[in-house]
Amino acid sequence: MNDDSFTSAPQLKRDPLGSFSTIVDTAPLSPIATALLAELRGWASTLPPSSVIIREHLHAGYGGLLFELRPSLPDTMGVSIGVGSSSDIDVFWGDGYRLEDWKPQEGDVLRLCKAIRAGEVVEETWKVGGLVLEKRCYIGRDRQLGSGSGLLPTWLRRLARRSERTFRPWGEAA
């Protein structure tokens, strides 16, 4: 594709221990995706190598490039950012939570990643007996962003027991 509105994702390399994986192929990325990817790479390069595993890979089933940040400690939350040929951004975190076709403002994606890194993540579960009725996950001190199952009706929520799980910041030992 020789369209000037697209650029190819450059190869990413880090240390020989492989904190960053090298991309085997390139994919056409929108200018917004290319700029976001550069911003994420710059921020990720400042993270201590032992605190997080960082991977980039083309995902044929996804149709774009996934930039993954997986913390090395337990009870922490990882995140994947999906970019492609459109200006939409996809964010995947935790136990299947997602925000797809997001058109973030400048700096929003990095703020989201920093909030996850800081442990500003809460997972809320509503159960009756052992049956999970609702499960949602919120990011940010004020729970600005969330994803999960549909909301329960108020009458059913009164019958359910709510539990909350929090996550540790990356690099914070137990």
173: confidence class by pLDDT, cuts 50, 70, 90: low
- What's the pLDDT tens digit per position in 111-153? 999 999 999 999 999 999 889 998 999 998 877 777 777 778 8
Alpha-helical segments (H) within the chain:
31-44, 108-117, 154-157
pLDDT of residue 172: 61
Q: Which long-range contacts (CB under 8 A, 24 or more apart) does 85-90 make?
A: 85/6, 85/27, 85/28, 85/29, 85/30, 85/33, 86/30, 86/33, 87/30, 87/32, 87/33, 89/33, 89/36, 90/62, 90/64
In tens, the pLDDT along 158-167 reads: 899 999 999 9
pLDDT band (50, 70, 90) for residue 64 = confident
Segment 45-57 shows an average pLDDT of 90
Contact 64, 79 (CB under 8 A): no
Instruction: Write the CB contacts of 142 (distance below 8 Å, at least 6 apart in sequence).
Output: none
Q: Share the mean pLDDT of the chain.
A: 81
Q: Pairing state of beta strands 161-166 and 121-128? A: antiparallel
Please calculate the CA angle 172-83-21 and round it to the nearest 5 degrees.
Answer: 55
Residue 146 near residue 23, CB atoms below 8 Å: no
Q: What is the pTM of this model?
A: 0.78
Q: pLDDT grade, residue 16 (50/70/90)?
A: very low
